[in-house]
Amino acid sequence: MPLKFPYPEKRENQDKMIQKVEECIKNRKNLLVHAPTGIGKTVGVLYPAIKSASKLGLNVFFLTPRHSQHLIALETLKKIGETKAVDIIGKRWLCHYFYDDLGQSDFQELCNYLKKEEKCEFYNKVFRKGELTEDAKNKIKEISKEILSSEEVKKKCKEFCPYEILCLAAKRSVVVVADYFHLFNPFVSETFLAKINKRLEESIIIVDEAHQLPGRAIDLISSKLTTFVLNNAINEAKDLNREFSLDIDNFRHGIEEIARNKLGFNDEAYIDKEEIISLLNSLPSEFMHGLQEISDLVREEGKERSYCSGLLRFLENWINSDENFVRIIKRKETKHGKQFELKLKALLPEKVTSDIINNSYSTILMSATLQPLEMYANLLGVRNYETVSFKSIFPPENRLNLIAPIATTKFSKRGDAQYNNYAKIIVKIFEVVNGNTAVFFPSYYFLNKVHDFLRGDLNIFRETPELTKEQKTNLLRQFINSEKSLLFGVQSGSFDQGIDFPNNSLKCIIIAGVALATPDLETKSLIDCYNKNYGKGMEYAYIYPAIQKAIQASGRAIRSEKDKAVVIYLDERFLWRNYRLVLSGENFKVSREPWKDIEEWNERENIK
């Protein structure tokens, strides 16, 4: 089937986007694209990328952090006419054994063990004595006849390992839809590429939601060790080698002693790499080997998780870490009581992303909130690149943007008076909105404090960190189906990213404060690091990420050219110059009485 643009007409700016993508691929350049919702980014980038790949004999990777975006990409591929495409998600989510409660590293170790010992019945149906089985070959042919989501493949592979089948099918594919993890995790990417028989230099990479990539990249190589893990490692070892468990106990006491000396009355302090290495050197020389032996014994017993293995992984990461990491010891109050935590936090995302981006044939990074473009190019270490920025195609009169400098979440002004002030303002705004209103706070703490001051007759749907995926889905559905309700959520939470409110079911969004990072040692280290490397520490590490969260949340209401909504930035700091620089893409009105402006706008736009 020949490739075709799947729609009768291209949207405004879509032509320019397609031309720019084709041009950059032709010239082997990277491209950063800021394109607000509505332009049609997915097809506007996938179509020219596949067209170019077909001419040049290349592969295309479409990487996205959300499973829902996988489905959008697959539907687009079907419409374009590309049939050689495979959708791959994390192996853990494809596994028939349902190890949902295991972390990625624990799952990977368990998976490797089961394969090595030939104890995975699903893997054994794919490979027998190192050779691909005939049944597996037939299954690969079956799923390669059409574009299927990874979930659909899992249903069709009830007797096989879906991950192995998908990777084998990917060898013949032109397009691979995958997660960030597959290419940007330095512990995974090389093995993954070899497994699917792809080479980076022969691949066009499309990074969707690219504003999330710096944070995801840092998280991929950061790690932590808690008292909880140490205690469980001790208990795990006691049952298998009581003498060795005393060595782990001595290590724990050593950590606690360092914590007491370092922390004093503080909750966190920097710690040198050598302090932990010295502590390790005070233990028997076979300590690390002993952790591995206990881990192996735990696996042989058929247990899913080994805490000794987790401790070993952390120590290996600590020993191998370089100047790109900050090392912090913390005291935390948890449900298990007071605990110490050792944190190994990466600072520069470019250390993870730069080689992948720059060694590909061409990488296209796109997002509806990729501003400032220069910041993302710097943080991700993008070289030989161009940038392009598009304006929203939706009618500007459909959105009323207000900055209301009549409240603040500034820490020095927090207290019951300010929480009550926010509650009163939210109610006054809500009363004049003809429909549902969503309020996005900087934190759960601030959300709950404001909620305490609201009267009981209001219909409020409140996000809490304990909600399960099913509970969140039900809560959102009830809110969308209501006619006059409040949704309380947090910025960068469950309801302000990757969520659509259909049929203009959301009429107003209130950004209740600036979601600045906690000014702790991690944040200070990021500011210092970004000052040293880019000369913009406060902007890159503190201010811009907070404003990006606000912009991301503000985009939930208008998802089509027919939607109309009000967006209110409720904090005096949104007027500050260094904050306004990132908000410059919209027209704003400063209002000290936003409820009056909303009433006038309702009348003018005939909103009922």
In order, the DSSP letters of 204-218 are: EEEETTGGGHHHHHH
Residue 177 has a pLDDT of 98
Distance CA 324, CA 526 (A): 10
Q: Which of 323, 322, 326 is nearest to 527 (CA)?
A: 326
Which whole number is the average pLDDT over 18-25?
Answer: 97
Pairing of strands 223-226, 337-346: antiparallel
- CATH number of domain containing 556: 3.40.50.300
Distance CA 487, CA 437 (A): 6
- What confidence category does residue 1 fall into, taking pLDDT thresholds of 50, 70 and 90? low
441, exposed or middle or buried, with CB in 10 Å at 0-12, 13-18, 19+? buried
**pLDDT tens digits, 37-91:** 888 999 999 999 999 999 999 999 999 988 888 999 999 999 998 889 999 999 9
Residue 497 has a pLDDT of 75
Same-domain check for residues 512 and 476: yes
Residue type, 236: E
Residues of the domain holding 114: 95-149
**pLDDT tens digits, 370-413:** 999 999 999 999 999 999 999 888 888 899 999 999 999 888 88
Of 393, 413, 448, the residue at which a domain comes to its end is 393
Partners of residue 399 on adjacent β-strands: 565
Give yes or no for a contact between 304 and 106, defined as CB atoms under 8 angstroms apart: yes
Partners of residue 555 on adjacent β-strands: none
Same-domain check for residues 325 and 179: no
Q: Is the pLDDT of residue 555 over 90?
A: no
Distance CA 548, CA 31 (A): 20
In order, the DSSP letters of 143-197 are: HTTS---HHHHHHH-TTS-HHHHHHHHHTT-SEEEE-HHHHH-TTTHHHHHHHTT
Residue 167 maps to a domain: no
Q: How many domains does the chain have?
A: 4
Q: Which of 603, 587, 592, 596 is nearest to 400 (CA)?
A: 587
Rounded to 5°, angle at Cα 216 from 210 and 220: 145
* DSSP helix, strand, coil percent of the chain (3-state; round to 5): 50, 15, 35
Same-domain check for residues 452 and 589: yes
Same-domain check for residues 538 and 581: yes
- CATH number of domain containing 238: 1.10.275.40
HSE-up of 431 (CA within 13 Å, CB side)? 11
- The beta strands (E) that lie in 337-398 are given as 337-346, 362-367, 385-389
Residue 498 maps to a domain: yes
Same-domain check for residues 249 and 320: yes
Residue 583 maps to a domain: yes
Residue 245 maps to a domain: yes
Same-domain check for residues 106 and 192: no
Residue 585 has a pLDDT of 63
Same-domain check for residues 587 and 487: yes
Same-domain check for residues 192 and 61: yes
**pLDDT tens digits, 568-591:** 999 999 998 888 777 766 788 999
Residue 154 maps to a domain: no
Residue 160 maps to a domain: no
Same-domain check for residues 446 and 470: yes
Regarding pTM above 0.95, the answer is: no
Q: What is the mean pLDDT of the chain?
A: 93
- What confidence category does residue 422 fall into, taking pLDDT thresholds of 50, 70 and 90? very high
Same-domain check for residues 107 and 85: no
Residues in the chain: 608
Of 281, 311, 346, the residue at which a domain comes to its end is 346
Rounded to 5°, angle at Cα 602 from 568 and 404: 20
Residue 157 maps to a domain: no
Give yes or no for a contact between 349 and 324, defined as CB atoms under 8 angstroms apart: no
Same-domain check for residues 140 and 277: no
Residue 116 maps to a domain: yes
Partners of residue 510 on adjacent β-strands: 439, 568
**pLDDT tens digits, 332-371:** 887 777 889 999 999 999 999 999 999 999 999 999 989 9
Q: Is the pLDDT of residue 101 over 80?
A: no
Higher pLDDT, 444 or 8: 444
Same-domain check for residues 83 and 119: no
Give yes or no for a contact between 325 and 224, defined as CB atoms under 8 angstroms apart: no
